[in-house]
Amino acid sequence: MACHILLFALLALASSRVMASDPSQLQDFCVADLKSPVLVNGFVCKPPMHVTADDFFFSGHDMPGNTSNQLGSKVTQVNVNQIAGLNTLGISLARIDYAPYGLNPPHTHPRATEILTVLEGTLYVGFVTTNTNNGNLLFTKMFKKGDVFVFPEGLIHFQFNYGPTPAVAVAALSSQNPGVITIANAVFGSNPLISDAVLAKAFQVGKDTIKYLQAQFWVDNN
């Protein structure tokens, strides 16, 4: 009897772990119907007879992004909203252009791990761990053309172009819709604003400092 109970417990644990992961594809593809009013976790599928090659295609990733903003960077995303055929496939792409000394500011992707490679230039990159007994650990690296760096899912990370020339990188992300939370924009530019009393207490500064930060224009480089 004890053996049966143990076996049942192990099967239940294994099942729960399987169910906690994304399901495998049940068909060759599920091209997103971006115009459907039906709301699901992702997008409903187009009827296969309405699918064309264009549903798996995007053009223009060779074109530099406009970096003439306060951050000096531009992220050009290619996710399910640009390629409907990415629906349910768990992958997407982004091109990041950096002006000289341009920054892709601290941000997170709540639904994706990111792997980044530099095509041109030199970048200083890094990520910060979640809270640990040793604090929030920072991992950084200077990397150049051809180098690759990984940012684990959900962790705050950044890229900075230290050089006097433009830089270009391409990132692959493990979600059709990875999402992005830019830390400064979310904390100081939310709608409506977070209470200055809350932020003053959290950052241990005066309310005047918080009001100043909330009054700034927080650039979205996506």
User: Is 107 marked as a binding-site residue?
Assistant: yes
Cα dihedral value 157, 175, 21, 148, nearest 10: -50
DSSP 205: S
DSSP conformation class of 53: G
In terms of Cα–Cα distance, which of 177, 195, 163 is closest to 92?
177
Query: Residue 39 class from Cβ within 10 Å (0-12 exposed, 13-18 middle, 19+ buried)?
Result: exposed
153 marked ligand binding residue = no
Name the residue with tokens 């109970």. Answer: 5
Relative to beta strand 138-144, strand 103-108 is unpaired
Spatial distance between the Cα atoms of 11 and 9, rounded to a whole number of angstroms:
5
| Contacts with 220 (C-beta within 8 Å, 6 or more apart), sequence order | 182, 185
Instruction: Find out whether 109 is annotated in a ligand binding site.
Output: yes
Cα–Cα distance between 53 and 90 in angstroms, integer? 19
d(CA 87, CA 46): 10
3 state SS of 68: coil
Check whether 50 is labelled as a binding-site residue.
Answer: no
Is 4 labelled a binding residue? Answer: no
Annotated binding site for oxalate: 104, 109, 114
Annotated binding site for Mn(2+): 107, 109, 114, 157
Annotated binding site: 104, 107, 109, 114, 157
